[in-house]
């Protein structure tokens, strides 16, 4: 079911729920680019409200820890004055916004935060930093100074969505979802493939619900087809248990699970970068 039309929320790329029950969506339009908060008015009416607009970059990644939002913002196709930054928005401190440079990542995309507060970011375009996944440690929370290191480097392309659970990082890259253990010393263990999409499909992003990946899968190379699907995939076996298309057609770019009932308990909210809009699976 579509709850926002493409002209209301264009190029929706990512969504995230915060611990205090708020839901945010990043609109990856060419600069200016906006992060919106989605709220509910009455039983079935959803409302979007701009939280923060970046004037000179595009939001391509979004995650949260506690009541802090982290977003990646870049202008990867700019010839002059390229910019790639990590944006922090402190929702408990008047929505205070800070930026730190993550230059060297060309198109930062998937993002997740581990229990120690380290931030992992995938680079979909293999920038000059040379990491498939970069790990960022915040050295000074007040000044928002960071240290970035190569965490996982491989020849794979199109590194996209990231999720972390039980000291395992899960990564969507092109046709696969892989598991990468986070070792005791913080480094990356050996990667294993859990799921491979059918030929002609690409996995953009996913969330975790119970014992399932809930994956946004779109046709490849024609991502803008309206023939995308959301698939529920067993983490244990890699088998597809069920899948959803949209009556209006969509090409899902991310899936967010409302585990705690911020908007609708147990619902999944689906973004669509190519087509825009926001969808719900009840």
What is the residue extent of each domain of the chain?
2-281
Buried b (16+ CB within 10 A) or exposed e, 103-128: ebbbbbbbbbbeeeebbbbbbbbbbe
Query: Could you tell me the two tokens for 78?
Result: 């700019």
Q: What's the CA angle centered on 214, arms 52 and 252, to 5 degrees?
A: 55
Task: Determine whether 247 is exposed, middle or buried from the number of CB atoms within 10 Å of its CB (0-12, 13-18, 19+).
Answer: exposed
Backbone angles phi, psi at 24, to 5 degrees: -130, 145
CATH number, span 2-281: 2.120.10.30
pLDDT number for residue 54: 96
pLDDT number for residue 160: 95
The set of residues, in sequence order, having a beta carbon less than 8 Å from that of 207 and lying 6+ positions away, is: 163, 213, 214, 254, 255, 256, 257, 268
Contact status, residue 5 vs residue 19, Cβ threshold 8 Å:
no
pLDDT number for residue 27: 97
Question: pLDDT tens for residues 132-179?
Answer: 999 999 999 999 999 999 999 988 878 999 999 999 999 999 899 999
pTM over the 0.85 mark: yes
How far is Cα 280 from Cα 29, in angstroms, rounded to an integer?
21
How far is Cα 203 from Cα 252, in angstroms, rounded to an integer?
9
The H or E element spanning position 34 is strand 33-41
pLDDT number for residue 42: 80
Q: Which residues of the chain have pLDDT under 50?
A: none
> Quick one: which of 199, 193, 165 has its CA closest to 178?
193
């Amino acid at each position: 079911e579509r709850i926002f039309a493409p002209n209301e929320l264009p190029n929706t790329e990512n969504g995230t729920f915060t611990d205090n029950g708020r839901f945010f969506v990043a609109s990856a339009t060419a600069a200016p680019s906006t992060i919106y908060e989605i709220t509910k008015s009455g039983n079935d009416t959803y409302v979007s409200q701009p939280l923060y607009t970046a004037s000179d970059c595009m939001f391509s990644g979004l995650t949260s820890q506690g009541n802090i939002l982290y977003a990646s913002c870049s202008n990867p196709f700019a010839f002059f004055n390229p910019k790639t930054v990590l944006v922090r928005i402190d929702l408990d401190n008047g929505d205070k916004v800070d930026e730190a440079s993550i230059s060297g990542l060309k198109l930062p995309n998937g993002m997740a935060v581990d229990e120690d507060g380290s931030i992992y970011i995938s680079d979909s375009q293999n920038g000059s930093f040379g990491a498939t996944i970069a790990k960022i440690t915040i050295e000074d929370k007040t000044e928002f100074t960071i240290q970035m290191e190569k965490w996982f480097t491989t020849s794979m392309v199109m590194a996209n969505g990231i999720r972390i659970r039980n000291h395992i990082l899960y990564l969507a890259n092109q046709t696969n979802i892989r598991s990468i253990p986070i070792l005791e010393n913080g480094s990356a263990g050996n990667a294993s493939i859990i799921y491979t999409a059918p030929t002609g499909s690409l996995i953009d992003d996913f969330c975790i619900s119970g014992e399932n990946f809930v994956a946004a899968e779109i046709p490849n190379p024609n991502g803008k087809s309206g023939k995308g699907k959301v698939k529920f995939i067993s983490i244990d076996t890699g088998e597809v248990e069920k899948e959803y298309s949209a009556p209006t057609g969509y090409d899902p770019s991310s899936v967010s699970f409302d585990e705690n009932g911020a908007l609708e308990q147990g619902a999944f909210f689906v973004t669509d970068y190519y087509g825009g809009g926001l969808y719900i699976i009840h």
